[in-house]
Every structure is written in structure tokens, then in C-alpha cells.
Amino acid sequence: MKFRLNSLVIFTTALAMAVAIAAVPVEAAKKKRDPGKRAYMRNTCIACHGRNGRGAMLDYPNLAGQDAKYMRAQIKDIMAGKRTGSPDPTGNPRSAGMRGALVTPEGEPRITPEQIKTIVAWLAKQTPAAPTPPEKPIAAERISAGEKLYKKKCRSCHGKKAMKPLKGYPVIAGQKHAYLVTQIKDIKAKARTNGKSKLMLATVKKLSDDQIGMLADYLSQIDRTKK
């Protein structure tokens, strides 16, 4: 009887371990099956925008947690050649590299509308990037001044703490400092005119470089990972 009981305990334990081990690859497989992530990886988005839309290289934007409809609109404009900008470090107009990854030299799309839809839906669900600590600490007074300027110039469209924008505008809280500065300057210089850029021109055209930097200091240090 004791032998049978011990055998039953061993069998039950072994069965439980087998189920637990089998569950690991199943869960991993489920994660791998996400069509948005698969398309993101296959279309080389990770090369510039980082793993899971975070940790982007150079001054490319972090995309994790961005509004899906906004991203779809921007991709559409980039593919159509409507969104450009000032020269990037390669000397080419900004977004030209991304257009080359999405459109052939002959003008044929390398990606389908359905793939775009799944990619942005997946990115929108990802945890936003944590703020990148600046090389030099930003004085509390400057952050406060940047917040005050944001409330005066930007909040009506980009929302409270830059997290709840109006339709057609991006979430800019916690975005990369270099990207924020570049985009504001490009809109001011009329190098970027797609989407809501023309409406923003009236707001940013009188901003000084220091004020633009001040806005970026404030916005880039907002931590969206904290609820």
C-alpha cells in the first residue's frame, strides 16, 4: 500500500512538472505568433525604432505606446512622399530612409495596408520607453519653465501632460529629446508640412531655439511608464 501511495505521489508530481514544462513553449509560441510583432521584425522597423518600439537609434522616435491611428497616417504620408523634413545625419531628407524600406525605387509598396494596421496596433499596446537621462542634469527651474510654456502653447492640442492629444495629434510625453527638437524646428522652418503641421506653424513660428529646447527638456523627462 505504501509502495502504491509513493508511486502515485511520484506519478502526480511528474505529471505536474510535465504540464508546467509543456506550458512554457506554448506561451512563448503565443507571443511569437503576434502578427504585428512579426511584421515589425520582418519589415526591419526594429533597425531604427528599436526592440518593441523602444530604444530608437539616433533621433528616430520611440513608437511604443503611440496612438495607432496617428502612426498609420504618418506611414501613409511617408510612403506617399508627403512627409519629409530637414536633412538627417546621412544628408538625405528625414523619412527618406523609411520610405525606401517601405516602397521600392519603382514606387511599389513593400508592405500591405493590413500589415501596417497590425504593426501599429501592436506598437500601440507596447509599454512606452522610459525617459532617457540627460547627459547633464536639467535644473528643476528649467523643467518648470518648460511645463509652463507647454501649458500655454501646446496643451490645447496635445492634452494634459502631453498624454491625451486631440485626434490626429501624437502623444509626445516621454518622446526622445533630439526627435522633439528636430520636429519642432522642421515645422517652424516649413520643412515638414504634413498632417497637423500647418496648424502647428502658428504656434511654433515665434519660439526661440532656447524655448524649443526647454519644451523638449520638459516633455522628454515625463515618465509614461508610471501610472
Q: Tell me how far apart the alpha carbons of residues 206 and 13 are, in angstroms, rounded to a whole number.
A: 71
pLDDT at 206: 94
120, 156: one domain: no
Select from 76, 102, 125 the last residue of a domain: 125
13, 85: one domain: no
145, 96: one domain: no
Q: Is 36 left (phi over 0), alpha (psi -120 to 50) or beta?
A: alpha
Q: Averaged in consecutive runs of 10 residues, what is the pLDDT profile of the chain (227 residues)?
A: 41 42 48 84 91 90 97 97 90 88 94 97 97 94 98 96 95 97 97 95 96 98 89
71, 117: one domain: yes
Residue 14 included in any domain: yes
In the chain, what is the straight-line distance between the N-terminal and C-terminal CA atoms, in Å?
Answer: 57
Q: How many domains does the chain have?
A: 3
178, 160: one domain: yes
pLDDT at 173: 98
pLDDT at 5: 40
Nearest to 153 by CA among 187, 200, 196, 190: 200
Residue type, 59: D
Q: Residue 42: which domain range?
A: 37-125
- 134 to 146, 147, 172, 221: CA distances (angstroms): 15, 17, 17, 9
Select from 96, 125, 154 the last residue of a domain: 125
115, 176: one domain: no
pLDDT at 4: 44
CA dihedral 25, 28, 30, 32 (to 10 degrees): -130
Residue 72, C-beta contacts closer than 8 angstroms, at least 6 positions apart: 116, 117, 120
pLDDT at 32: 62
